[in-house]
Homo-oligomer: A and B are copies of this chain.
Amino acid sequence: MPAGRGEGYYPPMRISVIVVILTIIEGELRALLIHRSGEPYLGWWALPGGLLLPSESLADAAARKLLEETGVTDLYLEQLFTFDDLDGEAGSVAVANFALVDSRRVRLRAEPVWEPRWFAANGLPDLAFNNTKVVDYAITRLRNKLEYTNVAYSLMPETFTLSELQSVYESIFGRAFDKRNFRRRVISQGIIRPTGRTIARGAHRPAELYEFTSRQPMAL
């Protein structure tokens, strides 16, 4: 590493990339955590992450972490914020991302040491570094995004019923919505459309199946 005049000298800096991976399981918003196997915070739960490799972009690094932990490649991934106060060390920044995945498509990495595990987002254990505030930040961002984008597609399978979609929204906002108003809203937003098919799943009227009009992130 060269030292030199002015901006030519690069002090030792660490850039890490961390990912808040969120999903819905059993009607509950959950975040993926791993068990730290090294110091500091040995044995604590923490967000998946690691150093940025010099050859990769920030988005690539986040996608790589996500793939390693969940096996998912098709997903919603977005940069959240860059923190400099997570590990209390100078010259160290962490670029936090958040990702949304459909839990049905996830196969958690079988890694005995890290024990990746889904935790209910309200009810996290004490986390290493200041990871709790990173998760909170991600949840706030997610709630905002649900209001004006179609990102919910990344939490849903190809087709789904309106009740299922409503349940996902309710899990994230932590409150119930009116069924009629919810339906009017998502349909008039144009983010979903009926497929024409129905699905019978119990001793009651079958539900119509819907799909997202687009599975690319879009602002409304």
Contact = CB atoms under 8 A, between A and B. Distances in A.
The SS class assigned to the A binding surface is: loop
A15 B15 CA distance: 8
Interface in A1-60: 1, 6-7, 10-15, 38, 50-59
Nearest to A52: B13
Interface stretch (A90-98, A173-181, A199-207): A90-98
Interface residues of A, number: 29
A79 interface: yes
A149 interface: no
B84 A11 contact: no
A166 interface: no
A93 B95 CA distance: 10
Nearest to A53: B11
Nearest to A56: B90
Interface in A48-92: 50-59, 79, 81-82, 84-85, 90-91
